[in-house]
Amino acid sequence: MNLDRALAILGVIIGLLGGGAGIYVSQKDYNMGLLLASGWVAAALIGLTICTLAFRAVTALERSHNDALKAMADTQGDALRQLAVARDDAEQRFNLLLQESNTLKAEVAEFRNISRALSAVVNGEDKPKPPRPRRTKVPPQVDQLNQD
């Protein structure tokens, strides 16, 4: 944008110098010089007005652009902060729920053990069972002797 401003200023300066040169050259006839001078002055005033308005417009656009970029950066920063806070909250809730889950698992295991123990007492399963008799294989020779 600075190059645009420099070119606009250079254009105004060249226009003023051209107007001055035109007035100087046309001084042979006073009325003609006055007419040319008034034309050049009017053109210079119109050019100056246009340049001033253009400078204001460019400055307003730059300011608006900078404000928009700043607002976008602020919004992005706020969003990132809110996401970080939400992530921390989610991690805390996860840890709390994990602890509660582990506690409930331990309680369920304890109740299961108590239930098994009570079922064994009620059903009489707590008495020791006699060992099963072991079968021994009879060798084939003894079988043949018994058959004879």
Residue 58 near residue 4 (C-beta atoms within 8 A): yes
147, pLDDT greater than 70: no
Q: What is the pLDDT of residue 3?
A: 64
Query: Tell me: the pLDDT tens digits for 95-138?
Result: 999 999 999 999 999 988 888 888 877 776 655 566 677 776 66
Q: What is the pLDDT of residue 50?
A: 80
Higher pLDDT, 8 or 85: 85
- The average confidence (pLDDT) of the chain is 79
Among the residue ranges 10-19, 58-67, 89-98, 126-135, the one predicted with the least confidence is 126-135
In 3-state terms, what secondary structure has residue 134? Answer: coil
Buried b vs exposed e over 33-69: b needs ≥16 C-beta within 10 Å? beebbeebeeebeebeeebeeeeeeeeeeeeeeeeee
Reported confidence tier of residue 32, pLDDT bands at 50, 70, 90: low
Nearest to 126 by CA among 137, 135, 117: 117
Please give the structure tokens belonging to residue 110.
Answer: 């304890």
Angle between helices 30-123 and 2-25 (to 10 degrees): 170
Query: Tell me: the pLDDT tens digits for 69-81?
Result: 999 999 999 999 9
Residue 11 near residue 44 (C-beta atoms within 8 A): no
Type of residue found at 45: L
Residue 36 near residue 22 (C-beta atoms within 8 A): yes
Domain ranges (residues) in the chain = 2-122
